[in-house]
Amino acid sequence: MIGTLLSLPLLPVRGVVALARVIAEEADRQLYSMPSLRRELDDLHRLRAEGRIDPDEYERAQQQVLDRALHRGG
């Protein structure tokens, strides 16, 4: 009983930690999902076709997306 009462002030902190964990998991899921990676590659291709990024910038960004695809999920 006393242990429960003493742990009550920590409940908000535990809630924030749990919420942060859920947000981090969702962010990782979206960052590494195939549809998200494909959308990024499509966006890069469009920006390059429109001349809004130069070839070197395009290659670097494309390689970053492809690296994430190879290492998705950790």
Half-sphere exposure of 70 (CA within 13 A, CB side): 6
The pLDDT value recorded for residue 12 is 82
Report the share of the chain in percent with pLDDT over 90. Answer: 50
Rounded to two decimals, the pTM is 0.61
Residues in the chain: 74
pLDDT tier, 44 (very low <50, low <70, confident <90, very high otherwise)? very high
Q: Render pLDDT for 16-36 as a digit per residue (tens, 0 to 9).
A: 889 999 999 888 888 788 899
